[in-house]
Amino acid sequence: MKVLSYNLNGIRSAASKGLADYLAQSGADVVCFQETKAQPDQIDNSMFWDGGYTHCYVHSAEKKGYSGVAILSKKEPDRIVTGMNKPEFDSEGRVLRADFGDLSVLCVYVPSGTMGGARQDFKMAFLDDFLSFLNELRKERPNLLVCGDFNICHKPIDINHPKKHETMSGFLPEERAWFDQLIESGFIDTFRVFNQQPDQYSWWNYRYFARQKNLGWRIDYHLITEPLRGRLTAAAIHSEAVHSDHCPVSVELIG
């Protein structure tokens, strides 16, 4: 199974740039979107049918044009679960889960704290609740793949000029400590199993010619629980895709 994760920064904008054709050629079985910025009736599922994605599930934010996650799949999931049962977070459309046999694919869009103040506090509160949520979920669904935009660079290797960004949301010590805790709890950063090279990024600022200069951040991840380690066969960043200020990331598992 190949799972692709992609922060679209607006599904309608990405669609106008050839998103459906890209997915049809990607070979992905499951696609997880973040930041759809659309209500369900604004997403034309049929654009993905030619690529085999006949099943589409959407969790939009209550606020229009904001946040939102979605999962596309070629095979119908056994179960879809929306949110974390936390109204303050679920109202922003941030978590969506699809179960396929013994595997659960969970799509997450972690809040950004770049506005500072209350939104950074909101981000940290989300992270604390999300970790507790994952630890409880693993008791029921031990084979868990969590993918999406975490809005955190875990280590200095994951960001350009790390010293320059130490006081910026997305690379704050407390955010990175949270990520350490997540890994220590038994999650595996799949990309780093296969690639330990620097300058591997999944998001670039639209300004300052950042993408052309590869001044990026790696904030999009596929994390798997330890029981899935033996089924992991590949993970990659697809920086050639330019439908968004992010690029897709993928993981491949046996079964």
Q: What percent of the chain has pLDDT over 70?
A: 100
Alpha carbon dihedral 189, 105, 63, 119, in 10-degree steps, equals -30
Q: What is the pLDDT of residues 204-240, one digit of tens each?
A: 999 999 999 999 999 999 999 999 999 999 999 999 9
pLDDT value of position 188: 98
Cβ contact 152:176 at 8 Å: yes
Predicted confidence (pLDDT) per residue in 87-110, tens digit: 999 999 999 999 999 999 999 999
The reply to whether 78 belongs to the active site is no
Mean pLDDT, the chain, rounded, equals 98
Under CATH, to which class is 2-253 assigned? alpha beta
Q: Indicate whether 255 pLDDT > 90.
A: no
Residue 77 clears pLDDT 90, i.e. is over it = yes
Residue 220 exposure: Cα atoms within 13 Å on the Cβ side? 31
Instruction: Give the other-Cβ count within 10 Å of 228's Cβ.
Output: 22
Residue 68 has what pLDDT?
98
Domain map (residue ranges) of the chain: 2-253
Can you give the pLDDT at residue 71? 98
Instruction: Give the per-residue pLDDT at 95.
Output: 99
Average pLDDT score over residue span 36-57:
97
- Between strands 103-109 and 144-149, the pairing is parallel
Whether pTM exceeds 0.75: yes
Residues 21, 50, 90, 149: which is the catalytic one? 149
Q: What is the pLDDT averaged over residues 38-62?
A: 97
Q: HEC profile for the chain?
A: CEEEEEECCCHHHHHCCCHHHHHHHHCCCEEEEECCCCCHHHCCHHHHHHHCCCEEEEECCCCCCCCCEEEEECCCCCEEEECCCCHHHHCCCCEEEEEECCEEEEEEECCCCCCCHHHHHHHHHHHHHHHHHHHHHHHHCCCEEEEEECCCCCCHHHECCHHHHCCCCCCCHHHHHHHHHHHHCCEEEHHHHHCCCCCCCCEECCCCCHHHHCCEECCEEEEEEHHHHHHEEEEEECCCCCCCCECCEEEEECC
pLDDT, average across residues 24-44:
97
